[in-house]
Amino acid sequence: MTSDKRLIVDLLKQADIHVNGVNPWDPQVHDERFYRRVLNALNLGMGEAYMDGWWDCAQLDVFFYRVLYARLEQQIKLNPRMWLKFLPAFLFNLQHGRRAYHIGTHHYDTGNDLFEVMLDRWLTYTCGYWKNAATLDEAQEAKLDLICKKIGLKPGQTVLDIGCGWGSFSQFAAERYGASVVGITVSKQQLELGRKRCQGLPVELRMQSYTELDGQFDHIVSLGMFEHVGYKNHRTYFEVANRLLKEDGLFLLHTIGSTHSVRATDPWINTYIFPNSMLPSVAQIGKAVEGLFVVEDLHNFGADYDKTLMAWHHNISTGWKHLKGTYSKRFYRMWEYFLLSCAGSFRARNNQLWQIVLSKRGVPGGYVSLR
């Protein structure tokens, strides 16, 4: 056994993971180069090796849950060459100006057929709320309804939806609450399908960056978009929201969050899934809103993202027969690795999901939290 293999094998044993073992979470290694690739590039190397078929795992979500809950990644030193992967995030503003549209082209324009198979009937690409839900459709509808209730949405009010996706919230708020909604996205395919889904409703969807917005709105929501803003732009983002929100309005921010402050994302996620993304921490959000907003409520239901991701993976797995003519097997393995590794991360509570309600001057008499 090589020293590289011995190191990986011994490390995984600490989480009761056994290479080529009999448990469904045990990795089955098909190529001995796997071990050196992981040590050289950590999750980037591990993810690429999975995409290339060098290893498999029957329960990839459980594998990652065990690895992350045991904090095994803290025992491997980062190869100095890997710092080059993080360097651009420190040197440049990767989410500013036209760069803000890159995530739309790279990820959200992958194909509407893919997302229609994977997502719920509202096409909601954010965490569902599973408190009283048994299905993905129920969880996503409960989440959309909870958001409307948290901002106190009333018929005839105007809402800005920053990062509207395929218009799920915009459509829901218009149909169920009688609101007028402006939604913005940086994805051409989202915009095209979203406009079709919202046809006949008081909804205007635009291809636009948040920095290009004008007007005044009774409320603002932003669901699963803040992860693409970047720490260098956090303050600008909240300054724009403050300028657009009416004095007595509420702003609900729905975002994945990190338990510690970072300035870049995981190299595999950055390379293959969400380029130039970055998960914010509570400290970073708090600093960015200081003097602009009062934090009225913070609701963490990150454990629900585990269920959501597993439901998305189930839909992709069972619906692959409709997609395999368009997408490659390597793409499927990439998407599988993405969904199941993230499920394991949320299960280990490494990642969080926050809904934060913000007001400009504080709600008179106090805000009543809803769950």
Amino acid 63 reads F
- Closest of 119, 27, 12 to residue 68, by C-alpha: 12
The whole-angstrom separation of Cα 270 and Cα 279 is 12
The whole-angstrom separation of Cα 184 and Cα 187 is 9
Cite the beta strand spans of 188-344 per DSSP E. 203-207, 217-223, 245-258, 294-300
Query: Quick check: 273 and 336 in contact, CB under 8 A?
Result: no
Cα angle at 223 between 87 and 349, to 5 degrees?
65
Q: Which residues are catalytic?
A: 342
Q: Residues near 360 by Cβ (< 8 Å), separated by ≥ 6?
A: 242, 245, 247, 248, 249, 292, 293, 294
Q: Residues near 307 by Cβ (< 8 Å), separated by ≥ 6?
A: 128, 130, 139
φ/ψ (deg, to 5) at 205: -105, 135
Instruction: Please state whether 214 falls in left (phi above 0), alpha (psi between -120 and 50) or beta.
Output: beta
Query: Quick check: 344 and 68 in contact, CB under 8 A?
Result: yes
Residue 13, helix vs strand vs coil: helix
Q: Within 10 A of 5 (CB to CB), how many other CB atoms are there?
A: 16
DSSP, res 280: -
The whole-angstrom separation of Cα 221 and Cα 250 is 8
Q: Is 353 exposed, middle or buried (0-12, 13-18, 19+ CB in 10 A)?
A: buried
φ/ψ (deg, to 5) at 55: -155, 160
H and E: helices and strands count for the chain:
14, 9
